[in-house]
Amino acid sequence: MEEMGFVNRVCTSTRPPQVTYSLTERTKELGEPMTQLDALAKKWAVEDLTNKQPQTQKAAYRRKATSRDSSV
């Protein structure tokens, strides 16, 4: 990630050695878009869970209706 410019890495020659990482300005720019993407993913997940139940019930109803029609 350092090579890609996402983090700064600072090594301190102490005992024990210490390495400190920090975000670059480039990475800080990603904060808002990532927050929006996270919110959208959560919204879609809720919609998927909400819409899954009725579809399952509709499929079960279709199976029952089909089995009744074929038994006649």
Domains held by the chain: number: 1
Residue 2 lies in a domain: no
Give CA–CA dist 72/61, Å, rounded: 17
Which is nearest to 8 in space by CA: 34, 26, 29? Answer: 26
User: 3-state DSSP call for residue 2?
Assistant: coil
Residue 1 lies in a domain: no
Cβ atoms of 52 and 60 closer than 8 Å:
no
Residue 43 lies in a domain: yes
Residue 29 lies in a domain: yes
Identify the residue with better confidence: 52 or 54.
52
Percent of the chain with pLDDT over 70: 72
Question: What is the extent of the structural domain holding 20?
Answer: 7-70
Q: What is the pTM of this model?
A: 0.46
Percent of the chain with pLDDT over 90: 54
For residue 53, name the pLDDT band (cuts at 50, 70, 90). low
